[in-house]
Chains A and B, each alone.
Chain A
């Protein structure tokens, strides 16, 4: 490889020999599982991590109106602010040669992702403020607006992972990831 005006930095000096790592100090402080719970907000696709609680779409409508509608628009179809994005609609727009409208209903493969995202990041101005019941209810409402669950379906830690999202099988692995 030819270079222009090779810089005299020896690149290998940027990395320290592995020998130093063998003597790495151990500064991590042990922590008990019970003390981790407050931070462990991850929700897995199989439902692992979902908290106790329940909600229905009917219950979620008022929460949505109060906490979500200002940004995502009435019934999630017409975002009030551009960065928020539509939550509802777009079914069938992934078809070839169409302009895709990617919403919870048309694109998201897992319903658990909806709960996870709302619980960690929403409402925008006061994230992590909703109770578990509110999270289940507003998740149910958005799923209901997309025609995925019924108005009175109880959404909880058992039922949410079983919700079959329309685009569940829409994803394939990228073929060129590093091994």
Chain B
């Protein structure tokens, strides 16, 4: 397998700290509560036996109560404010931690305002990653470092990209959008003209159909969140409803499809059902409040909420209404799903219900036993997320996570679960359910339906193993 940045490069510093605070030899004592363990060579009395977990009040249920095996706590913690658990500081000295000093930046004025803001230089590691093998510039994909982000919105500069012939530098004054084919009035639009229509904003995810395809591999690869799941982004997209322009052009009765085409060197092209085009498709001029970034389709990209990423054609220059699909390269030889037999699913439009845990995850080691928040994202191209369950014991027991609003259709939801890590091995999983009732499948269920040769639309439950050092790794469980 490739080396960094795809390696799950757990921090050596974290590993050292963990090894200093925890002796690696752990014996499970099953007669105790499921949170309890006995350590040999113990260094920290707070970790021993029941002291590793809250001394709970006896009224039930309390927020700190276990809600599922291996330390998953009740999501009521998130609704009822401060933790009742007394173990948040487990392993920390209660003495004076450090002497506070007045830092240099408090003594002289800082520099002035930049014309366009940049992240702190101390956040320089929060960047997109690029997959091997090396491709020509702008060909292939960059991946969002989801494990270093929070909330539901992807910063525009960190939104993943997938391009086939580089990123065109388009002069918006020269760019045109053509609508033709089975319409009464073929029309051409300038970008300036598009910007004068009534606009709408919509918070929506875009996920590449090839996201998470590493999990089709027979053996779990040593990859991190970005490398496996980083072809996912979410933005507030703003633009003109496609239906507005199609109505203006006048749709002929025999039209059933819209062929969308980009202005890149590959003239990337996909066929879209007219029903989707008339439903919630948006011609986006803005992304997170500013003009769409070039790598995401400047000056105008198509947004098809919930549909696989490449259908959201970037640098949109042409929409041709037709009776049938074009059967382009990307809807025949790519983005079709080869099943267990010789057949392949074609036109797999929606991203189906899915979730991932972004923290803890490979490279984000746990430093010591105690309380942690499990945080992640859940999304469905078919609607809204209704529930996310989490497990710390590889799916043997589950508890519902807290969902952070707003919960929007075809947008990621941030979920959070409270976890009391006892320092022992754990397998963390999340399982999402959407409001159509679809439940994220296990890897076995997923493979049973379609096999593992399909490459695209992998949405099965993913697993992170936490070892006794606090390191996380990608596993099949």
Contacts and interface: CB of A to CB of B under 8 A. Distances in A.
Interface of A: 1-7, 9, 11, 14-16, 20-21, 24-33, 36, 39-46, 81-83, 94-96, 99-100, 102, 104, 107-110, 112-113, 116-117, 120-121, 124, 127-128, 170-179
Given A30-B187, A96-B342, A121-B267, A39 B328 contact: no
Interface string B222-256: 00000000000000000001001101110000000
A28 B246 CA distance: 10
Given A42-B326, A100-B338, A171-B344, A21 B403 contact: no
Q: Is the interface of A mostly helix, strand, loop or mixed?
A: loop
B329 A31 contact: no
B178 A15 contact: no
B320 A5 contact: no
A176 B353 CA distance: 12
A99 B341 CA distance: 12
A45 B324 contact: yes
Q: Is the interface of B mostly helix, strand, loop or mixed?
A: mixed
A31 B319 CA distance: 14
Interface of B: 75, 78-79, 133, 135-136, 139-140, 164-165, 178-180, 185-190, 193-194, 196-203, 241, 244-245, 247-249, 259, 261, 265-269, 273, 275-276, 306, 317-318, 320, 322, 324, 326-329, 332-333, 336-338, 340-350, 352, 382, 384, 386, 402-408, 414, 416, 453
Given A27-B196, A94-B338, A45 B179 contact: no
B349 A178 contact: yes
Contact of A36 (B178, B202, B340, B343): B178
Contact of A174 (B188, B342, B349): B349
A28 B201 CA distance: 22
Contacts of A82: 133, 135
A81 B100 CA distance: 57
Nearest to B416: A4
Contacts of B197: 24-25, 27
25 contacts: A2-B75, A3-B403, A4-B402, A4-B403, A4-B414, A7-B405, A21-B244, A28-B249, A30-B187, A33-B180, A36-B180, A39-B318, A40-B320, A41-B261, A83-B136, A94-B342, A102-B333, A107-B332, A116-B329, A121-B267, A127-B267, A170-B344, A172-B343, A177-B350, A178-B306
B139 A83 contact: yes
B265 A11 contact: no
B345 A172 contact: yes
A110 B331 CA distance: 11
A100 B344 CA distance: 11
A83 B326 contact: no
In order of increasing CB-CB distance, the 6 nearest A-B pairs are A28-B187, A3-B405, A27-B193, A120-B267, A171-B346, A121-B266
B155 to A, nearest CB: 18
Nearest to B135: A83
A4 to B, nearest CB: 4
Nearest to B166: A124
A15 B328 contact: no
A178 B328 contact: no
Contacts of A113: 327-329, 332-333
A41 B328 CA distance: 12
A43 B329 CA distance: 11
A31 B386 contact: no
A43 B404 contact: no
B334 to A, nearest CB: 9
Contact of B200 (A15, A95, A179): A15
Contacts of B180: 31, 33, 36, 40
Nearest to A10: B406
Contacts of B179: 28
A116 B328 contact: yes
B439 to A, nearest CB: 13
Nearest to B203: A14
A100 B216 CA distance: 13
